[in-house]
Chains A and B, each alone.
Chain A
């Protein structure tokens, strides 16, 4: 299982990286992706998640080759 992970805005600064690549057979869902990528912080409750640029719940299963993005509440406009 190979996953590309991205972080945006305040969450990127919080975890200290903009992106990373994961490769692990243990990763089944979004929550596993966070735990594998960010070992020293719990995912904030208000975190939004997208897989392949579509919003998903943080229980959503992931598949090989997915791009998983984590970001804080949006503030555009």
Chain B
């Protein structure tokens, strides 16, 4: 009979793989921690010693500009040791499996591994092979929880609340991890969500996540926030004919200045396809929060790293604020 080597027992760790891992109090705490870090950004020395001696490894198996840069900068601003690995140019090119890459990196005893991967379930897989906290920085069409947290942060900062907000998510919901995370996050915080797009790009069964569905762009008129999704051509199956053409998509569902009012907030997770899902003047208008979202990404990801590495029982918010309050003196 075959004798199997049993994997070593891994300690139970808090991970952030999905918005479903969080409850409302967790989200409140993280958003308030992020707000606390905001003041650090206004200082001359934009760095606090909070995570000195900790190690954060970013592993990006899929192209990313804003997520990878903001995680790296977030770790640095918290004084953690950090390194970022991209799939190309690594052992992955030599055929190394994800499991083996993670076992290798885990030999350095990182406190946090941040992973972006094109395939759903990659972050869940690595939790079975590392003792580090795992943060999902986007896995295929599944989840992108830190994007949702920064979006909540941006909405709350602009509108003062989340409870009772009406948010319209427009476009390619089928291929969007951001849509899935945001639906869960917004529902968790008491907002209502409408999804709008071509029928083939609205997944069957999405109503069971508690959203309403419309295929008419006029339905966004009642929303406080119009959240525009990118047409994800790279994830679409060849020949699937989700829409007849991008031209027809833009004509029917493109977010143009005729379709949004100045009192509605416009958001987009980026990168944007100007002139496809969003008109250039809408992206650049005063009610657009696209650049604010990027800035929010930095403080939110600092808050997530801090939150995972602080004891859940110690009152994260107070602790975080205390850290921020004393940080200036320590650095000075």
**Binding partners A and B:** no
